[in-house]
Structure 1
Amino acid sequence: MLQGYYHSKLSFGTVDGPGIRYVLFLAGCQLGCAFCHNPDTWARGEQQITADEVLTEMEDYRNFYESSGGGLTVSGGEPLLQPEFLAELLAKAKAAGFHTAIDTCGLAAKEAILQVLPHTDRVLFSLKGCTEASYQALTKAKFGTIRENLVCIAKRKPVTLRYVLIPGYTAGKDSLAELIRLVHSLPGDVEVEVLPYHTMGIAKWEALGWDYPLKSVPEPTKEEVTAFRQALKQAGIKLAATEK
């Protein structure tokens, strides 16, 4: 039986997809975000779990998941780095009647994406910007690759595009215009969730002995976040339920 390497898990997640959810955070990520609030998930680690173990734990709370419209979300790290385990887990969860979702940054092989999507009801896609420059400044990936994978996913599954609003990087009129252009170009059912940048990850960087790259960047104000969301709405973009 396949085993997945994981970092942590939650039985009552409320911010990783619709309803109350069991959230499994798989270990390992290659994106290297400068603002990552869980850098301790980058390494693969040693903890392992099977799909059957996850489903056994989920059964104890089935009523909560079903009554809230929730289910299973597999996050990370980057879950698509373990496609065989992920596909097996999602397939078994769907067979057991649970709604399934993945939270991905999009940095994965297309083969892995296509292996997993048939068993996925919704994709939470964490977008780190809308330009090549933003990805060069904030990550170790190329925006072109991310965009190609986003289009591939949006053609096949409903997408919640999770956009982190970072002053000086992904906020402002130019970034807003690029995001609007991108969303309007995507096929399928796409909604946007605007996530305000926060500095809660600094302590984890310091615990690892690393220098936090965005230490001088302020968190956006509530007014800035509200204005950004309203501008998206006025542009005809559907906002996630959490945004309303």
Structure 2
Amino acid sequence: MINGRIHSFESMGLVDGPGIRNVVFMQGCPLRCLFCHNPDTWDFNSGTEISSKDLINKIIKFKPYFRNNGGVTFSGGEPLMQPEFLLEMLKLCKENNIHTAIDTSGYGIGNYDEILKYTDLVLLDIKHVNNEDFKTITGVTIDKLKEFIEAINFSNTKVWIRHVVVPGITDSDSHIKELKNFIKTIKNIEKIELLPYHTLGVEKYQILKKDYKLKHIKPMDKVLCKSLEKKLQ
């Protein structure tokens, strides 16, 4: 039994992988993405401590609802920053025949090969595709993401690519072309989604008394976002 820290638990997630899913939002993230809408997940010492036993028992109660290849998605925060707890939970899910997914930016502290053995699907959130812009957006370098992609390419784990389109930052044709070339380096991709930037998390920054650096940017047009997505096919 291993203890971990989670931020929250969603019982009926519909946009975090296939089917109906439990979503475990794990606490702690080393990235400081300019467009992050969950700044309350950053602090590694916050959230709720829970044992792997208690969490799997909670998940099993919802198993009858996991239709259409539903299951559990470990999100965050950044789930790869709690590798021991994440691996234990993935193993317990597989022991109970539950489909597993990880929603990640690819920034972790190792043990990727073992983690991916028990992961059916990776929802890989690509923040940017070159080191300079990646660091501007996240505060960290792109190196960890590239390490994780290397591990994915040695695994059989399926991948869904996600990328947030921010007006004036990641919405140009040249960027989309660069993104397309970057995505070509990743194996086992089933799906590519461009997510329109939104401002739904701004109030959290006000509550936490943090500065929201993109307050001058309006939400991304959803129709335009879909048209850019077609260019990646």
Q: What TM-score bracket applies, with the shorter chain setting the length?
A: over 0.9
Determine helix, strand or coil for the equivalent of 2:93: helix
What residue is the counterpart of 1:108 in the other structure?
108
% identity of equivalent residues: 36
Task: Deviation per CA, 1:23-57: give whole Å up to 9, x if none.
Answer: 11110000111111000000121511122222222
After TM superposition, the structure 1 stretch with the greater mean CA deviation from structure 2, 36-45 or 133-142, is: 133-142
Determine helix, strand or coil for the equivalent of 2:134: helix
What residue is the counterpart of 2:204 in the other structure?
204
TM-fit CA distance, 1:212: 0.3
What residue is the counterpart of 1:130 in the other structure?
129
Task: Deviation per CA, 1:74-103: give whole Å up to 9, x if none.
Answer: 111011111111101110110101000111
Q: In structure 1, how many angstroms separate the alpha carbons of the residues matched to 2:24 and 2:58? A: 11
What residue is the counterpart of 2:49 in the other structure?
48
- The alignment covers a number of residue pairs equal to 231
Match status 1:87 vs 2:73: no
Q: In structure 2, how many angstroms separate the alpha carbons of the residues matched to 1:155 and 1:174? A: 30
Gaps of 5+ in 1: 234-244
AA paired with 1:61?
F
Structure (1/2) with the larger helix percentage: 1
Q: In structure 1, how many angstroms separate the alpha carbons of the residues matched to 2:208 and 2:32? A: 14
AA paired with 1:52?
K
Please tell me whether the aligned partners of residues 183 and 190 of structure 1 are also in contact (alpha carbons under 8 angstroms).
no
TM normalised by structure 1 equals: 0.90
What residue is the counterpart of 1:117 in the other structure?
116
Task: Deviation per CA, 1:154-198: give whole Å up to 9, x if none.
Answer: 431111111101111111111100111011222233421111110
Please tell me whether the aligned partners of residues 18 and 69 of structure 1 are also in contact (alpha carbons under 8 angstroms).
yes
Please tell me whether the aligned partners of residues 79 and 86 of structure 1 are also in contact (alpha carbons under 8 angstroms).
yes
AA paired with 2:138?
T
Q: In structure 1, how many angstroms separate the alpha carbons of the residues matched to 2:171 and 2:230? A: 13
Determine helix, strand or coil for the equivalent of 1:101: strand
Please tell me whether the aligned partners of residues 25 and 75 of structure 1 are also in contact (alpha carbons under 8 angstroms).
yes
Determine helix, strand or coil for the equivalent of 2:116: helix
AA paired with 1:88?
E
Q: Pairwise CA RMSD of aligned residues?
A: 1.4
Q: In structure 2, how many angstroms separate the alpha carbons of the residues matched to 1:112 and 1:213? A: 34
AA paired with 2:192?
V
After TM superposition, the structure 1 stretch with the greater mean CA deviation from structure 2, 223-232 or 182-191, is: 182-191
Match status 1:61 vs 2:62: yes
TM normalised by structure 2 equals: 0.94
Task: Deviation per CA, 1:108-138: give whole Å up to 9, x if none.
Answer: 12x3322311111111111111222321221
Check 1:30–1:105 CA distance in 2 against 1; reply closer, same or farther (3 A cut).
Answer: same
